[in-house]
Chains A and B, each alone.
Chain A
């Protein structure tokens, strides 16, 4: 070293930080689940940050905290609106219906992704066959137990092959954070369309804006092709 001019530690700190960042992207991409739960653990300890609760790979959002609770004995999934046979399904009724399993990626509009989530639930077509909606349905609306939260799909979106009325995630019943007891899963769209804690499914004639759509988000929230993209 040149003893007059000293060591070039400034650029070492700069380049070291950059290198750590790039390596960090590579490493945490591989171990995303562990990193997220560790970070969420830290975040959970900080008052302002703790609305983002832990669970591997996920960030949990609630628009009207705390997250809703339900009584398994009295919970009913109401399916109505412009249908021939409105129903109220108990958890036992739902469990008795034919279920399917699928593995799909979950993309949040804020930038995070959880790959390969294993869902189990009922295909929308099964419920459609049950309630027999009228002609001219413009939107199927999903109301959440979380008071203000509501969103809807167009009929064609509801019957996409991987749209699911889910009751299980990764082999176990949905947890409270993930929308127990029933949630919508539509992998082709950003997560805000996948309404959690569903209490009612309504077949409507008219379209209406969901919770986030009233706040500027796109109704057709296609991953990569909405919310200012494409």
Chain B
């Protein structure tokens, strides 16, 4: 990416570790949605036999935190910590942003300046993690309840259902904003490649861009330069072409 961008038209928003954490979440929640639907809706019950659906559902649930743990140990855990800290802290501009509420999604004019994550993204992350926790607790109780009726609470299944419903709404909104909404489409490349358009970022995440440019300008330059040097080597070698015709 950086080698295509000597003029710095893009800016790195997410590290490889952050993106891996995002896509691991998407994959495991996707698997749990499919297998959960097979378990929950009679209409889907015949897509997959029940024991298989159940095993896949439970193993996906275990794989999610295990994958995150592996990323924390082996990946760039500082960037994960930075994202959690970013999502935790809401300043006055964030509160003003939230006050604009749903209207802000339709009309971004007068948007208070936002950091790397806007207030809606922070809230989405916090609520998603909270709901995953609720699903984990209620799911564990459902699992235990099948083994020992002492753990059978009638409420476990209700809360599991409600949390699923709430998470479904969050994910649908998230997908709409990421894929279709004009003002936020610019964020998509951030979670695929890690980089977003600098002008788009300046418009929607002004405080982040100016902070990066002011305090980390030197570091960004170094990163872009070294990244360019590394990547320039890869496509530059035309050796295989020569080897294809050794006789000639």
Contacts and interface: CB of A to CB of B under 8 A. Distances in A.
A98 interface: no
B142 A111 contact: yes
Nearest to A212: B50
A215 B46 contact: yes
Interface in A1-60: 3-18, 20-22, 24-30, 32, 35-36, 39, 48-49, 51-52, 57
- Do most interface residues of chain B lie in helix, strand or loop, or is the interface mixed? helix
A21 B138 contact: yes
A48 B155 contact: no
Contacts of B148: 224
A14 B39 contact: no
- Do most interface residues of chain A lie in helix, strand or loop, or is the interface mixed? mixed
A146 B115 CA distance: 59
Interface in A95-153: 107, 109-115
A9 B154 contact: no
Given A14-B126, A17-B131, A49-B41, A29 B155 contact: yes
Given A24-B158, A215-B49, A17 B43 contact: no
Contact of A51 (B41, B84, B161): B41
Given A8-B88, A15-B130, A62-B42, A24 B162 contact: yes
Contacts of A62: 42
- Size bin of chain B's contact surface: 35 or more
A149 to B, nearest CB: 12
A27 B155 contact: yes
- Size bin of chain A's contact surface: 35 or more
Nearest to A43: B161
27 contacts: A6-B94, A7-B89, A7-B95, A9-B89, A9-B126, A11-B126, A14-B126, A14-B127, A20-B134, A21-B133, A25-B138, A27-B155, A29-B156, A32-B154, A35-B158, A39-B161, A39-B162, A48-B43, A51-B41, A63-B42, A107-B152, A109-B50, A111-B142, A113-B145, A115-B154, A215-B45, A229-B147
Interface of A: 3-18, 20-22, 24-30, 32, 35-36, 39, 48-49, 51-52, 57, 61-63, 107, 109-115, 212, 215-217, 223-224, 227-230
Given A5-B89, A9-B88, 7 more contacts: A3-B92, A5-B91, A8-B89, A10-B88, A14-B126, A22-B137, A52-B41
Interface of B: 39-43, 45-46, 49-52, 54-55, 84, 87-92, 94-95, 122-123, 125-127, 129-131, 133-134, 137-138, 141-142, 145-149, 152-163
Closest 7 CB pairs of A and B: A17-B130, A21-B134, A29-B155, A6-B91, A10-B88, A28-B155, A216-B49
